[in-house]
Structures are given as C-alpha cells and as structure tokens.
Amino acid sequence: MKAQPKASHFVNGDWLEDTAGAPIEVIYPGTGEVIARLHAATPAVLEAAIAGAVAAQADWGRRRPIERARVLMKAVEIIRARGEELALLETLDTGKPIQETRVADWPSGADALEYFAGLAPTVTGETIPLGGDFAYTIREPLGVCAGIGAWNYPSQIACWKAAPALALGNAMVFKPSEVTPLGALKLAEILIEAGMPAGLFNVVQGRGAVGAALATDSRIAKVSLTGSVPTGAKVYAAAAAGMKHVTMELGGKSPLIVFDDADLDSAVGAAMLGNFYSSGQICSNGTRVFVQRSVKEAFLSRLAARTAKIVAGDPLAEDTQFGPLVSAAQHEKVLGYIERAKAEGARLVCGGSAGNEGPLFVQPTVFADVTDTMTLAREEVFGPVMAVLDFETEEEVIARANGTEFGLAAGVFTADLARGHRVIGQLAAGTCWINAYNLTPVEMPFGAVKASGLGRENSRAAVEHYTQVKAVYVGTGPVDSPY
Ligand code: NAD
C-alpha cells in the first residue's frame, strides 16, 4: 500500500498498534485507491497516550523555554529539508494538488513551529507594585491539551495546535480527522527525531467517539478543535462539563465585498482563491461574494473567463491547479448543494456538474443572482461553489454580510482605503482582509466570532489560549489582622 504507516498511532515516542480498534481505510482522492489501513484507538491506546502525556508534561513544563524552543527549531529544519516527501504524503492524504501542498501545508506548519519557538522564551509575567508589598504573575502551561483536527489542512492544523502547546510547556494528544490521518503521524515522528522527549506529542486515530473520549477525560486541560459548527457545539459542551479551556475553529459563510472602485482583476483573483483553492475546502473562504451592481457583469465575465482556464486533473501532476474533493461523502454533499442552488433559481455562470478527471471531482462552479435566503447563501458547502450576490449601497451590504450565524472571516475590495477600514470595522468576523483574501501568516491572529468559534490560533494571541496566569501576592511586613 502506497502510504501505510508503521502503525496506526504514535504514543510515548513510538508507533503503537491495536488491531481491536475499528478499521479506518485511507483513500487517495485522486483515484479512490486505498493507500493505508488503520485502526481507531481503543480505550487501552487512549489510556497509554493520556497517561504518557501527563507524565511527560510534568518535566517539560518546568524546562527553560529556550530549551523547548531548540527542539522545535530542529523539527522546523527537518520539515523544510523533507519538504518534497511531506508534500507528496499530504497530496496522497487529501487529494490537493502537489502545487498547493508544496507551498501551503507543511510550510505553514513549519512557520508556526518556528514562530512559537521564537516567542516562547519572551513570554513573561508582570510585577504589580502594592506599596511595599507586591504581586507577580507567572504564565504557566495548562497541562495536557487535546487537539482534534479537520481533514482539509491536516498537517497544518496539527502544527498550528502543537506549536503553541509544546512551546509553552504543554503536552498534546492529537486526533486527526479519520479522513486524513497520515500527516500528524509524520509530525509525531519528526518531533522525536528532533529530540522531543517521548510522550509530549501523541497521535491517536479515530472517529468522533475517540474525540469525545478526549474531550471528556478529566486529565485533559484544554480541547482545541478544528471542525464544523455542529461538532464544535458538542465538543464545547463536553469541555464545559469538565471546566476545560477551549479553542474552537469552526465553519463559515464569509462575505467578500467588491465595491465598484476596486481593482477588478485583483478582486476576481481573490474570489477565485477564496472559493477554488483546495477545491473550495477552506473554512475561511469568501463564499458569499457581494459585488456592487454597476460592476457585476464585468466581474462575472472576467471571472468566467479565468475559471474556464483552471487546470483540473491528477493532483500529482506538476501543472494541476485543481484537484478532487476529499471523499465520496463530500463529493455527494457538494453536488447536492449545486442541484439545490439550481432548483432555488440561482443563475449558473460556469461549472455546475461533477468533473470527469476522476471519481471525486466537481467543476469549479459560479452562481450569480444568489439571494440572501437561498440555501447557497446560508449554509457552508465546503466545496468549489461560489455564490455571487449583488448590492447597491455600503450600508445595505454591511447589514446583509452580517446576516448570518457564522463569523469567521470577511474581505473588502475597494480603492478607497477609508471605506475599506470603515466597512471592515462594522463586519462581525474574526479574521479580515482589505484588498487581499485568505492570507493567514502565523504572525496574524486567526479565529472567529459568533457560531464560527472562539479563541485564536497563531500570533501572540495564542499565548493566552495555551497558558494560564498564576498570581502571587508577596507580603513584606507583619500581617495586619483584626483577630
Ligand atoms: P467535523 O466537524 O466533521 O470533524 C472535525 C473533527 O472532529 C474530526 O476529527 C472528527 O472526527 C471530530 N469529531 C466529530 N464528532 C466529534 C465529537 N462528538 N467529539 C469530538 N470530536 C468529534 O469537520 P470536518 O468535516 O472534518 O471538517 C470540515 C469542517 O471544519 C468545516 O466546517 C470547516 O469550515 C471546518 N474548518 C474550520 C477551520 C478553522 O480554522 N476555522 C479550519 C478547517 C476546517
């Protein structure tokens, strides 16, 4: 088999198998071929992973941050040196074109490890003068964190969670999506090779039940989930019962607003990136493209012309720009949304059917004349389906853009920067762009408002979510007591 790992799990610094766990078949979405066979974690595997993490964290959390940083920097070096091999595995696991996985997935993960390695030694507390007495604060690790991943950026998600967790002195038990379980195992192996003590980053496979077991275990201090809104609600509720910290990176239906003074070619390019990159399987995608009416037809004709030139095909081919969806279930779901958009009266501009490059392809699809009440404007499709809506005024588009339960991302294209800032200031979204879309450098906080989640990944903001403050009052004189 093309990508069979040595075992299903990586626990306490080594591969671990337990064939009693439910089978998980990994398919290469490019062809539908089975590339690995794994097993879900049994209670014994989970116990080994959590107990190992608890034991390893006690020492790791007390080490000098710069020592922890050195290990992460070594891992960065290994990831960059093995870029091609890792990109290939990511393409096999997800079906995303090798063009993308070479530049986006592991490279972004390596950036996160590098950033938090650099940041960790700078994380300090404060001293609070109290007129003779004083207090100080310490930022302590939380303990053992659970990471639960989605299937669209499996290795990036593993790195984005592991990097701040480990740099700041925590241990992690990570459960990848059952659809794309391979990349996280590589990360675990690389961290050991880089000198990380055993037990600090464990990977256990499984479906929702394994994630739920992590979210409810009393030894887990925090749950960081990347997934859909319904899963987020369940995991948040389970974590709340145990008073655990959470980071929730969930779904979206984000607005991308194009005003009539915008550089239209840039706006079209951004709308395509924000709907067709990774075959549209990106949480922050600008899937409601609001175009000001006076430029709507010009926007649509340039969009259709450029979309027609997208090169779809074998994800492993050098020139392929557009791959299949990740699974048969996702393929069926996306085609269902396309049929529904047609039935509800949206105007099909291009695409609109399954692609003929392989079993899981869907054509890059654009619908125009979409209205706010159509299903396509309300629900997350998570596929290459762009909804174009039109608007007249700034006030109107702000209200309509905010008329959703989601609040992950938003974008504005305009030549008038004052308007850009004014509009972004009124949009309910955690991650925003002006005259750009979907760029997520590690230096910038990434996260959501409303139903799309809470907490922030990347940047200094993540420190808040992987540490807790201990406050220490220091008395310097006799104790003043009425008794
Ligand atoms: P999903 O919600 O189906 O699954 C996400 C993960 O949660 C998987 O590992 C799954 O096994 C696990 N899970 C399922 N039920 C669980 C439970 N009850 N308890 C604990 N864990 C459970 O999502 P998906 O289909 O894998 O991914 C697509 C979704 O992820 C989309 O909605 C997308 O928008 C979202 N996403 C968000 C971000 C972000 O950063 N905001 C990034 C990528 C994807």
| Pairwise CA distance, residues 395 & 436, whole Å | 21
Name every residue whose Cβ is closer than 8 Å to that of residue 176 and which is 6 or more positions away in sequence. 149, 154, 158, 182, 183, 184, 185, 203, 205
Q: Counting atoms of ligand 1 from 1, which one is nearest the CA of 452?
A: 41
Q: What is the largest CA-CA distance in the chain?
A: 85
Instruction: Return the closest-CA partner of residue 364 out of 340, 339, 334.
Output: 334
In this structure, which residue's CA is closest to atom 37 in ligand 1? 250
DSSP assignment letter at 400? H
Compute the average pLDDT of residues 215-232: 98
| Pairwise CA distance, residues 452 & 409, whole Å | 9
CATH placement of domain 9-250: 3.40.605.10
What pLDDT was estimated at residue 418?
98
Q: What is the pLDDT of residues 246-267, one digit of tens each?
A: 999 999 999 999 999 999 999 9
DSSP assignment letter at 321? -
| Pairwise CA distance, residues 100 & 98, whole Å | 5
Compute the average pLDDT of residues 274-301: 98
The reply to whether the predicted model has a pTM over 0.75 is yes
| Pairwise CA distance, residues 212 & 459, whole Å | 28
Cβ-contact 288, 243 below 8 angstroms: no
* 170 residue type, one letter: N
Cβ-contact 138, 113 below 8 angstroms: no
Q: What is the pLDDT of residues 44-74, one digit of tens each?
A: 999 999 999 999 999 999 999 999 999 999 9
In this structure, which residue's CA is closest to atom 42 in ligand 1? 283
- Measured torsion, CA atoms of residues 389, 395, 400, 402, in degrees rounded to the nearest 10: 130
Find out whether the beta carbon of 200 lies less than 6 Å from any atom of ligand 1.
Answer: no
Name every residue whose Cβ is closer than 8 Å to that of residue 34 and which is 6 or more positions away in sequence. 1, 25, 26, 27
HSE-CB of 164 using CA atoms within 13 angstroms: 29
Mean pLDDT of the residues in the chain: 98
Find out whether the beta carbon of 212 lies less than 6 Å from any atom of ligand 1.
Answer: yes
The residue extents of the domains of the chain are 9-250, 255-434
Distance 230 CA to ligand 1 centre (A): 9
| Pairwise CA distance, residues 197 & 476, whole Å | 40
| Ramachandran assignment for 345, one of left (phi > 0), alpha (psi -120 to 50 degrees), beta (any other) | left
Instruction: Return the closest-CA partner of residue 463 out of 189, 209, 142, 21.
Output: 142
Compute the average pLDDT of residues 335-345: 98
Instruction: Return the closest-CA partner of residue 138 out of 473, 470, 461.
Output: 470
Q: How confident is the model at residue 330 (pLDDT cuts 50, 70, 90)?
A: very high
- Residue 392 is a catalytic residue: no
Cβ-contact 262, 298 below 8 angstroms: no
Cα angle: 418, vertex 423, 428; to 5 degrees: 145
What pLDDT was estimated at residue 290?
99
**Which of 174, 283, 405 is the best mutation target for the ligand 1 pocket, counting ligand atoms within 8 Å of the beta carbon and taking the most?**
283
Q: What is the pLDDT of residues 361-414, one digit of tens each?
A: 999 999 999 999 999 999 999 999 999 999 999 999 999 999 999 999 999 999
Q: Which of 100, 189, 249, 357 is catalytic?
A: 249
Q: Is 176 annotated as a binding residue?
A: yes
Helix (H, G, I), strand (E, B) or coil at 21: coil
Strands 201-203 and 171-175: parallel
In this structure, which residue's CA is closest to atom 34 in ligand 1? 251
Which tokens hold the place of 424?
Answer: 């972004």
- Residue 47 is a catalytic residue: no
What pLDDT was estimated at residue 292?
98
DSSP assignment letter at 150? -
Instruction: Return the closest-CA partner of residue 354 out of 372, 389, 378, 330.
Output: 330
Q: What is the pLDDT of residues 93-130, one digit of tens each?
A: 999 999 999 999 999 999 999 999 999 999 999 999 99
| Pairwise CA distance, residues 104 & 442, whole Å | 12
Helix (H, G, I), strand (E, B) or coil at 74: helix
| Pairwise CA distance, residues 452 & 226, whole Å | 10
Q: Which of 283, 296, 357, 432 is catalytic?
A: 283
- Residue 85 is a catalytic residue: no
Compute the average pLDDT of residues 216-234: 98
Cα Rg, the chain, nearest whole Å: 23
What pLDDT was estimated at residue 298?
98
Q: Is 178 annotated as a binding residue?
A: yes
* Cα–Cα distance list, 202 to 187, 192, 382, 410, 457 (Å): 10, 10, 29, 35, 20
What pLDDT was estimated at residue 82?
98
Q: How confident is the model at residue 479 (pLDDT cuts 50, 70, 90)?
A: very high
What pLDDT was estimated at residue 424?
98
Find out whether the beta carbon of 251 lies less than 6 Å from any atom of ligand 1.
Answer: yes
| Pairwise CA distance, residues 380 & 433, whole Å | 20
Compute the average pLDDT of residues 356-365: 98
Distance 241 CA to ligand 1 centre (A): 20
In this structure, which residue's CA is closest to atom 41 in ligand 1? 249
Q: Is 283 annotated as a binding residue?
A: yes
CATH placement of domain 255-434: 3.40.309.10
